[in-house]
Structure 1
Amino acid sequence: MDNLLTGQLLTGQAAPYSDVETVRLEKILPFLDEYHRDNVPLEEADEKALVTQDGSQLHNLDRDILYIPDPSLAFVGTAYSVSTFPLFEFQAIAVAAVFAGSAGLPKETDMRAEYAHRVLRKGLGRSLHELGDEEVPYVNEIVSWLNRDGKKVGAELVEGHKPEWIAESAGRKKYAKEVFARARLPQQTDIEVLSIPEARPETIRSVQPVNGF
């Protein structure tokens, strides 16, 4: 295998763990065991599952926020490749509007159809939560939904991104793409993965390159 990251996992134990090949984030909900399917591949998730075997995504979410079988359960911050706090703020506004009754929801069958279309278009796993260049259209859709329904009950209108913010965000994303396109990993890159002292071996706090990469 090429381009592996090798290093040591320091856990506060006497002996470090060697030959760390990758560090990966997983989605787990330890307080919602009934929605876990830890022995089920993500392709076989049922209509009530949230987390499956590899933990790479949350299943059955409408607009990547609301749990389709029971929209009183909502998640903010599922998306990747976004301007984190602005995007999550819009998601939080949407949750508040739904819970306050100023934003309506489609029928469950319609939410299921939209979710299935998104899976077909983007695939399962982490890619399902990737927004990237779709971030602004995603926010515009949320704002349109909230304002359309909010007008019916006299709710305060939500203002979307300003043109200046959109232009600056596009510039940042273009620059980031150029940087990543130029970046090339050497065959061996030594890293140290540091964790909280006395923590469990699998608890990782940060990744720091040893050789300055």
Structure 2
Amino acid sequence: MTKAEKIAGISRILDDLYPTVPIPLDHTDPYTLLVAVLLSAQCTDVRVNQVTPSLWAVTDRPEVMKTLPVEEIREIIRPCGLSPSKSAAIKELSRIIDEEHGGVVPQDWAALEALPGVGHKTASVVMSQAFGVPAFPVDTHIHRLAYRWALSTGKNVVRTEADLKRAFPRESWNKLHLQIIFFGREYCPARGHRMTDCPICSVYGRRSLLKLENK
């Protein structure tokens, strides 16, 4: 099997299972998406979606968020974990967006990644899902599956992102990264997973892992 055949096969399975993919974090605009993605660090999307309505009930605008005491933000987002650092980041990035970007989330990689609490992965999610810019955010699900499917070495997320961008067409990235996330949660979890029962791993999985499972 060639690499092109593998890529085509994986894409076909994902398209069949997930012809449309909703953005898992509830939001109304780039700013609320940015805050929700920041909150999702080491927290489930389900929990974030349970917490953000309470935050938006106070404000969903950076010009107001920057004026809130950090303790108030922290108390609201506490269930998401890491609330001291996340609340400080939300307050400060709101100030920067309001005062330096006219109250609008910048549609710019460097400006996004310069915001407090915003790394490359968070910026990638915002650029792809809010602005439609081709990007391939790599979370733990994607990193794990790329290794299982022998699409990347699994050494680090930077390498995984580069490998996946080389493997798949640029126009597919924004939809594909969501498809892989949904597939990982439903069919290819971290624990209790049997590759031989998986729609993709059973056909396109890393041979060494399949052999180890079949011993």
The structure that is helix-richer by fraction is: 2
TM-score between both structures, scaled by the size of structure 1: 0.26
Higher relative contact order (CA 8 A, sep 6+): 1
- Which of the pair has more CA radius of gyration? 1
